[in-house]
Chain A
Amino acid sequence: MSGRTHLGMPSFPDASRTSTRNTTLRANLGHATRTIRGKRDRAVAELADWDRLRAAGAAVKDRTLRHLDHYLEQLEERVTAAGGRVHWAPDAAAARRIVTDLVRATGEREVLKVKSMATQEIGLNTALRQAGIAAYETDLAELIVQLGDDLPSHILVPAIHRNRAEIREIFTTRMGDWGRPAPEGLGDDPAELAEAARRHLREKFLRARVAVSGANFMVAETGTLVVVESEGNGRMCLTLPETLISVVGIEKVVPTWQDLEIYLQLLPRSSTAERMNPYTSTWTGTTDGDGPREFHLVLLDNGRTDTLADTVGRQVLRCIRCSACLNVCPVYERAGGHAYGSPYPGPIGAVLTPQLRGTGTALDASLPFASSLCGACYDVCPVAIDIPEVLVHLRERVVEGGPATVRGTRTTIRPAAGHAAERAAMRAATWLLDHPGALRSGQRLAARTRRLHPRRLPGPGAAWTATRDLPRVPAESFRDWWRRNRPEEGTDR
C-alpha cells in the first residue's frame, strides 16, 4: 500500500498552484480551519493563566534542549531500569532497520500502528512492506489516508482534505483488500463511517501481537512515555499486543513528571480545543500482567541535532505538534497540506522540514517562502515558537548561504544554485500576493514586519537590500506597489 512518498514532490509554489485550484480541498479546509480556530480561542480564553503556561512550556523545553544530552541519558537509564530497551537511531535508515529487525524477531508479519509523525517521517510503512510486514494504521484519519493510497495533509486531522462522500467511496472499494470489508449499502454519515472503521479494525486489535507507536512526551526523571489521543485506538495498540515499539524524536523529552501539568493543559486546548482529550496513556517500562511484555524505545535523531546546532532554528524543537499554527495560517488554508511535501505541513513544516532535511532540493529551499509572515502562527503557538523569525532566518540561508550543520558536521551552505532559490521565492511571493485572502491580516503583517526589523529583505528583494537598509515601508504599500507593477491583474483565488 501507500507507495507514495513526500520525496520527489514539486516545490511549494508548483504544488500549491495545483491545490489552490482544487475547490473541494479549499472548501473542506476553509470550513475545518475556521471551525477549529473558533473552538480553540474559546478553550484558551477559559484559562486566565494561558500566557504564563505558555511561557513555562517554552522555558521547560528550552532548558531541556540546552541540556539534551543530560536528559537523554537520564531517560535511557530510567526506561531501562523499568524493563524497557532503548535503541538509538541517528537517521531514518537506522530507525527503519531497528524497527524492522525488532518486528522480525517476534516472528510476526503484521503490526498495528498508532498515528505517529516520526514513523511517517522515516517512511516506516514502506520499509516494513518491503520486509514482508504489513503495517496497519489504526487512527481513523490515518486509516482513510492509508486505504486511499494517499498522503496525510494535516498533523491532527490527516484526512482533512477528504469529505464524507470520498471517505465512503474509499471504505467501500478498499476495506475488503485489507480485512473486513465495509458493510453493504454503507452510507456517508460520519457515525456510520466510524462504525465501519470500528468493525474493520476490531479484528486486528484483538489478534495483534506487535504495535508501533510514537509518543507525545517522554519524562526523563521517571522514564515515562505519554500518548495523547481521542479514539482509543492508541490504548488498543499500547496495551493489547505483546510487543510495543515506540519511535520518538529526541526532542520529545521533558525533565520532570510535574512538567506534564504544563503540557497536558497546553496540548489539548491548542490541538482539539478540548479541556482534555478523551484518552491519555502513560507507561513506564513494562508492568507484569498488564500491557506488553516487551517495550522498545527507538530514539530518533534524523536531523534534530542539526536543528539543535542552529541557535535561531533550535526553538523549533520545542514544538508539541498541536497543529494550531496550521489552522490559523492563511497560506495553509489555501494551499493544503500536501503542498508542503513532508509529514509536517503548514507553518511548522515550513520551518521544521528545511532544518531536518536541509535546503538542498527545490522543494525544501522553497518552504521558508511559503508564508506571508503575518505572525498568526506565533500568536497561537502554545510553546511560543517565533516561526516568522525562523522563516526569515532560513530565507537568508537559502538566498545567501551561510553556516549550517549537516548530519553532525559543520559546513557552509552555498547560496542556492543559480537563481533557483530566487525564482522559487519570487514565485511564492507572486502566489501570495495573488491571493489577497492569504494576506488578509494587513495590520498584523505590518506590525510583524516592523517588529522583526529585518536588516535585509529576504527572498525576492535580497539583491536590492543587500547594499542598503530596508526602509520602514508599511506592508500595504509594498503590496500596492507590487500590484501596480505587475503585468497582469491579480485575482483572488
Chain B
Amino acid sequence: MSAREEILGRVRRALADVPAAEKPGDVPVVRDYLRVHDELTPGQAARLLAENLAEYRAVVHRTDTAGIPGRVAASLAARGSRRVVVPAGLPEEWLSAAGPEVERVPDAPDLGPRELDAVDTVVTGCAVAVAETGTLVLDAGPAQGSRRITLVPDHHICVVRAPDQVVCSVGQALERLDPARPLTWISGPSATSDIELSRVEGVHGPRLLEVVLATDR
C-alpha cells in the first residue's frame, strides 16, 4: 500500500461517524461576518490606508499622478540612491525626474540575489492595497516584477494609485487577486519582536518602505 493510500485510508476510517451521504457542502458555514468593516468613500479609504501604513512605520507620501515623478526623485535623492531596480511595465514617467546619475537596473531572470544586494532601491507599483489593514499586495504583474526585487534591496518605493487600486477589506482584495500568480502581501517594513518583544524594523526585507499614494479625482 502506498503512503498516500495509507493516509487516505486512515482518514476515511477516522471519519466513520460522518454519514456516507454527507457532502462537504452539507456542513454549514455561516458567513455572516462583515464584507467590510466600515462603508468608506474612496477618499476615506485612501486616508485609512495611509494611516494604517504609517502606523506600521511605512513612510507615506500623498500626491496626484502628476506628482509621482517628483516624489520618487525626491525619495531617491533623500536616500542617496544611485542604483534602482526597475520592473518591466513600470511607467517610464515615474522615474523621469530622477537624474542621469541614477542607474536603472532592469528586472530580468538573470538578475541574481547578489546583484540585487548591490542596488539601493526598488521602485514598483502594486496590484491592490487594503485600507483596513494597511497592506500592499504585489502579484508579480506589470510594474511589480519578480518577488525577489522587492525583497533584497534595503529601500522599497511602492506607488499606489487611488482610488482604483485601493479596496477596504481583505475579502475584497482576495476577490481581485489571481491565486495562480505568486503574491506578496506587505504591511509595513520588515520587522521582528523576537527580542524581549521590542519591535525592530528591518531584519531581512527592506528596512525602509515608502508608499507614494497617488490620488486623482
Residues of A within 8 A of B (CB): 28, 31-32, 35-36, 47-49, 52-53, 55-56, 59-60, 62-64, 66-73, 76, 82, 87-90, 94, 138-141, 144, 157, 159, 163-164, 167, 190-191, 193-194, 197-198, 201-202, 205-206, 219, 222, 224, 230-233, 235-236, 238-240, 250, 255, 257-258, 260-262, 264-265, 272, 274-284, 287, 289-291, 299, 301, 305-306, 308-309, 311, 405, 408, 410
Q: Which stretch of B39-47, B72-80, B200-208 is in the interface?
A: B200-208
B195 at the A interface (CB under 8 A): yes
**Does B4 make an interface contact (CB < 8 A)?**
yes
In the complex, which residues of chain B have a beta carbon less than 8 angstroms from the beta carbon of A193?
Answer: 195
**A59 CB contact (under 8 Å) in B6, B29, B185:** B29
Q: Is B133 an interface residue (CB 8 A)?
A: yes
Q: Is A194 a contact partner of B192 (Cβ separation < 8 A)?
A: yes
**CB of B99 within 8 Å of the partner chain:** no
Q: Are B205 and A231 in contact (CB under 8 A)?
A: yes
* Other-chain residue from A53, A190, A301, A306 in contact with B200 (beta carbon distance below 8 A): A190
**Contact among B7, B10, B29 for A63, CB-based, below 8 A:** B29
Query: Within the complex, what minimum Cβ distance (angstroms) separates A208 from chain B?
Result: 9
Partner of B151, one of A139, A239, A275, A408: A239
Closest residue of B by beta carbon distance from A208: B113
Contact A278 B148 (CB under 8 A): no
Contact A66 B147, beta carbon cutoff 8 Å: no
Provide the residues of chain B in CB contact with A48, threshold 8 Å. 34, 37
Question: Cα distance A284–B2 when bound, in Å?
Answer: 25
Interchain Cβ contacts under 8 Å between A and B, 6 examples:
A49-B34, A198-B203, A202-B204, A230-B190, A265-B170, A279-B185
A89 touches B200 (CB 8 A): no
Closest residue of chain A to B173 (Cβ to Cβ) is A261
A337 to B68, CA, bound (A): 50
CA distance A230 to B197 in the complex (A): 13
If the complex has contacts A163-B196, A290-B146, are A194 and B134 also in contact, measured as CB distance less than 8 A? no
Question: Which residue in chain B gives the minimum CB-CB distance to A281?
Answer: B184
A28→B182 contact, CB < 8 A: no
Contact check, B52 vs A275: say whether CB atoms are below 8 A apart: yes
**Is the CB–CB distance between B185 and A280 below 8 Å?**
yes
In this complex, what residue of B is CB-closest to A163? Answer: B196
Known: A231-B191, A276-B130, A301-B10. A157 touches B29 (CB 8 A): no
- The residues of B with any CB-CB pair to A shorter than 8 Å are 2-4, 6-18, 22-24, 27-34, 37, 52, 56, 109, 113-114, 117, 130, 132-135, 140, 146-148, 151, 169-171, 174-175, 179-198, 200, 202-206
Known pairs A240-B148, A308-B15; A262 contacts B33 (CB<8 A): yes
Give the shortest distance, in Å, between B190 (CB) and chain A (any CB). 4
Interchain CB contact (< 8 A) of B187 among A52, A71, A275, A281: A275
B202–A198 CB distance below 8 A? yes
Nearest A residue to B58 by beta-carbon distance?
A278
Q: A16 to B153, alpha carbons, bound, how many Å?
A: 45
A64 to B29, CA, bound (A): 11
- Is A257 within 8 A of B179, CB to CB? yes
Apart from A90-B10, A222-B180, 17 more pairs, CB < 8 Å: A36-B197, A59-B30, A62-B27, A66-B15, A66-B27, A89-B3, A159-B195, A190-B195, A222-B179, A235-B184, A265-B170, A275-B132, A279-B186, A279-B187, A301-B7, A309-B15, A408-B10
Determine how close the nearest CB of chain A comes to the CB of B80; give it in whole angstroms.
19
| Bound form: Cα–Cα A291–B109 in Å | 10
Residue among A193, A232, A250 with max Cβ neighbours from chain B (10 Å): A232
Contact A279 B190 (CB under 8 A): yes
Interface contact B204-A198, CB-CB below 8 Å: yes
Chain B residues with CB under 8 A of A222:
179-180
On chain A, the residues within 8 Å of B140 by CB distance are: 287, 290
Residue of A64, A240, A410 with most chain B CB atoms under a 10 A cut-off = A240
Q: In the complex, what's the smallest C-beta–C-beta distance from A138 to chain B, in angstroms?
A: 8
Q: How far is the CB of B74 from chain A (nearest CB, A)?
A: 25
Which of A157, A235, A274, A291 is in CB contact (< 8 Å) with B205? A235
B180/A69 in contact, CB under 8 A: no
Q: How far, in Å, is B149 (CB) from chain A's closest CB?
A: 10
Minimum C-beta distance from B211 to chain A (A)? 14
- Whole-angstrom distance from the CB of B15 to the nearest CB of chain A? 6
**Is A66 in contact with B195, judged by CB distance below 8 angstroms?**
no
- Checking A49, A167, A306 against B37 with a beta-carbon cut-off of 8 angstroms, the contacting residue is A49
Check A59–B183 contact: CB distance below 8 A: no
A-side contacts of B190, CB under 8 Å: 230-232, 278-279
Question: Top 10 closest A-B pairs, CB basis?
Answer: A232-B205, A309-B14, A232-B204, A261-B171, A305-B10, A63-B27, A280-B185, A276-B133, A141-B194, A231-B203
Given A190-B200, A205-B113, A230-B191: A279 and B205 interface contact (C-beta under 8 Å): yes
Selected contact of A66 from candidates B24, B52, B193, CB within 8 Å = B24
Least Cβ–Cβ distance between B193 and chain A, in angstroms: 7
Interface centre among B33, B34, B175, B204, by most chain A C-beta atoms within 10 angstroms, is B204
Looking across the interface, which residue of chain A has its beta carbon closest to that of B34? A49
Q: What CA separation (Å) do A55 and B30 show in the bound complex?
A: 8
Q: Is the CB of A157 within 8 A of B193?
A: yes
Alpha-carbon gap, A290 to B7, bound state (A): 33
CB < 8 Å: which of A28, A87, A141, A231 contacts B204? A231
Cα distance A71–B198 in the bound complex, in angstroms: 40
Given contacts A73-B8, A278-B189, is CB(A233)–CB(B204) below 8 Å?
yes
Quick check: B29 and A60 within 8 Å, CB to CB? yes
* A232 in contact with B203 (CB, 8 Å): yes
Q: Which residues of A contact B188 (CB under 8 A)?
A: 278
- Which residues of chain A are within 8 angstroms of B113 by Cβ–Cβ distance? 205-206, 240
A31 to B135, CA, bound (A): 29
User: Closest CB of chain A to B156's CB: distance in Å?
Assistant: 11
Report chain B residues within 8 Å CB of A239: 146-148, 151, 182
B123 CB → nearest A CB, Å:
18
CB contacts (< 8 Å) of B194 on chain A: these are: 139-141, 144, 157, 159, 194
Instruction: Please indicate the chain A residues that have their CB under 8 angstroms from the CB of B206 in the complex.
Output: 232
CB of A484, distance to nearest CB on chain B (Å): 41
Chain B residues within 8 Å of A276, by CB? 130, 133-135, 170, 185, 187
CB contact under 8 A between A69 and B8, given known A206-B117, A276-B134, A291-B182: yes
CB-nearest residue of chain B relative to A63?
B27
